[in-house]
Amino acid sequence: MRIGIDVGGTNLKAGLVDEEGNILTVCRTPVGRFTDGQDFAKVLAELALKAAAQGGVRPGKIIGVGIGIPGAVREGQVLYTCNLPLRDVPLADWFRETLDVPVRLGNDADCAAVGEALRGAGRGIRNFLLVTLGTGIGAGLILDGKLHTGCGMAGEVGHMVTHFGGRLCTCGRKGCWEQYASATGLIRRTEEEMEAFPRSLLHTVARENGAVDGRTTFQAAERGDPAAVHLCREYAEELGCGLVNLINLLHPERVAIGGGVAAAPESLLLQPLREIVTRESYARHGGVIPAVVRAQMGNDAGIVGAALLDRAVRE
């Protein structure tokens, strides 16, 4: 048995996962506030033990633990995280002070890609990308059947400039893809369109949902609102631009799109994306045009991928 841990912005989740990648049980706890990496490692290890106990598995039967971190990791060290006070800390070693089993750290987007590659949208695909749309844009790159991490921080696709000199990104660059094509980017454009079109159905939909979110535009477009239809098209072009960049660079066989925005109706997101990929990929000159699909596993991908990270890593 294995444990996969997903360190999210608000919750920590530990799942008991079997060798086939089935999640048997999951334990959750809020991230809470902590100032000390060693305490944090202990919380994670205790959560892992709790998940094992909940699944009726003795600690001695756990053969490995994987931890997905929202940041950069390298060989058991957390180098950097966006939201947690962990920098250059030996998290794996500290974890083993409470639960002494092999521990592997991974970036959270990488873990999700591994999960999808083993059990979801990328099953059996040798060159596969998972692109996740959220606050930013994350990705995990499965290249020649294994996870590519380079010197540790590969896959930061959100910080690929598509608009030279454009909008300032949190990373310090100008014109990063995620400023235009993340869920956050879409929400900002939705708000701008609402400002510009006071009579648009966008207002009605936002009121019904209680807020503007990543679904607002798609829902208003489905009800025929012209501003929303236009914005959906614009958003697909922004998202498609970066996807084709990735395809021209890496030429995967399949790209899966994850995150809440990916739940949008096929006709408003995946179908336009496929048209853009077919129109613009360099591979249209006689090569394989990659398939664009929805991710399948949602939040489970990160837990399964963390637990089975071993399988995807090239030694």
Chain positions contacting a copy of itself, by CB under 8 A: 72, 74, 79-80, 87-88, 127, 141, 143-144, 146, 148-157, 159-164, 166, 171-173, 180, 238, 241, 244-246, 248-253, 279-280, 282-283, 285-288, 290, 314
Distance CA 136, CA 178 (A): 5
HSE at residue 118, side-chain half, CA atoms within 13 A, is 27
Structure tokens given for 241: 């631009």
In the complex with a copy of itself, which residue's Cβ is closer, 24 or 143?
143
In the complex with a copy of itself, which residue's Cβ is closer, 222 or 280?
280
For the CA atoms of 32, 259, 191, 81, the dihedral, rounded to the nearest 10 degrees, stands at: 40
HSE at residue 86, side-chain half, CA atoms within 13 A, is 28
Whole-number Cα distances in Å, 25 to 17, 40, 45, 144, 250: 8, 22, 16, 31, 36
Q: How far is the CB of 32 from a copy of itself (least distance, A)?
A: 24
Q: How far is the CB of 270 from a copy of itself (least distance, A)?
A: 20
239 strand-pairing partners: none
Q: How far is the CB of 111 from a copy of itself (least distance, A)?
A: 17
Contact, 127 vs 250, CB < 8 A? Answer: yes
Residue 223 identity: R
Whole-number Cα distances in Å, 191 to 176, 185, 206, 275: 20, 10, 10, 27
For the CA atoms of 203, 207, 209, 215, the dihedral, rounded to the nearest 10 degrees, stands at: 10
51 strand-pairing partners: none
* Phi, psi of 5, deg, nearest 5: -115, 130
Q: How far is the CB of 22 from a copy of itself (least distance, A)?
A: 29
In the complex with a copy of itself, which residue's Cβ is closer, 4 or 68?
68
- How many residues does this entry show for the chain? 315
Distance CA 212, CA 168 (A): 22
Q: How far is the CB of 68 from a copy of itself (least distance, A)?
A: 18
In the complex with a copy of itself, which residue's Cβ is closer, 63 or 249?
249
Q: How far is the CB of 249 from a copy of itself (least distance, A)?
A: 6
Q: How far is the CB of 187 from a copy of itself (least distance, A)?
A: 19
In the complex with a copy of itself, which residue's Cβ is closer, 28 or 188?
188
In the complex with a copy of itself, which residue's Cβ is closer, 55 or 70?
70
Tell me, rounded to whole angstroms, the distance of Cα 287 from its chain centroid.
Answer: 28
In the complex with a copy of itself, which residue's Cβ is closer, 182 or 219?
182
In the complex with a copy of itself, which residue's Cβ is closer, 24 or 153?
153
Q: How far is the CB of 31 from a copy of itself (least distance, A)?
A: 20
